[in-house]
Amino acid sequence: MAMKIWLDDRLVDKEDAKVSVFDHGLLYGDGVFEGIRVYDGRIFEFEAHLKRLYESAKVMRLVIPMDSGALADAVHQTVAANDIADGYIRLLVTRGTGDLGLNPFLCKRACVIIIAASIQLYPRELYEQGLKVVSSSVIRNHPLSLPPQVKSLNYLNNIFAKIEAVDSGVSEVVMYNHEGYVAEASGDNVFIVRDGVVMVPPAQAGSLEGITRGVVIRLARQDNLQVVERNLTRFDLYVCDEFFLTGTAAEVIAVVEIDGRRVGEGKPGPITTQLRKKFFEYARA
């Protein structure tokens, strides 16, 4: 069966899913997106993802040419057309076709793209063994440059950091903000555990308010774990008992080493393991 892509207002074959070279999403990274999971045929936290998409678009003064109900229906159609039971959705809205100038308001209509496929961010054994990470020299975008709550197509900041991970032979990096506090990984949110307390950087530190991040915080509190949003330093990461990342593609995965320093016992810790188990129970409930 040929893969189907939603493009603008209909499903098309993968080979026919093409956008103009004058699309400002291509020319300038001008657009927004969401990465969304499908578990057992159900779209995970769909309303939260749609809400964030429309809020990001509003901040950018990008008019999505479909209301949320019509867009949700298009996503469901794309998932069904590709027979996705467990997989990943990439929902994009670009500024659309314009000219070679920066003016976004010369683009007459935004372009909607929906891809439904499979994804595995890390090899399966790393979910059992944990990741090694390094600290990035790339500073996270200043919040007055680009609000961290906006999930835009412009990911060059994150890509620079990811290059450092690849060059260092590890799976991920930790990015810090202009004040030296932990912001996030190149594509995931950061959590640590110390003395039984779960700690996570606030969004104001430069991290995206991840959907999975929010779910894990809620599940932790339901399990009577203390969760604190506070600024974290590199020192905190070096001395914590447990360290894990969360994200739509990554789900929940332990970090066992940072900058050559072992985290805890050098294996996924009990609270990380507990929250990973709770997350999958919730996702498939």
Burial label, 91 (beta-carbon count in 10 A; 0-12, 13-18, 19+): buried
Residue (of 107, 93, 82) closest to 52 by Cα position: 93
Strand partners, 33: 92
Q: Hey, is 127 helix, strand or coil? A: helix
Strand partners, 10: 7
Whole-angstrom distance, CA of residue 282 vs CA of residue 285: 5
What are the catalytic residues? 151
Integer-rounded Cα Rg, in Å, for the chain is 19
CB atoms within 10 A of CB 285: 8
Q: And the tokens for 235? A: 């020192």
End-to-end CA distance of the chain: 30
Which amino acid appears at position 101 of this protein? G
Q: Where are the beta strands (DSSP E) in the chain?
A: 4-7, 10-13, 31-39, 42-43, 87-94, 111-117, 131-139, 172-176, 182-185, 189-194, 197-200, 227-229, 242-247, 251-258, 261-262
Residue (of 271, 277, 109) closest to 193 by Cα position: 271
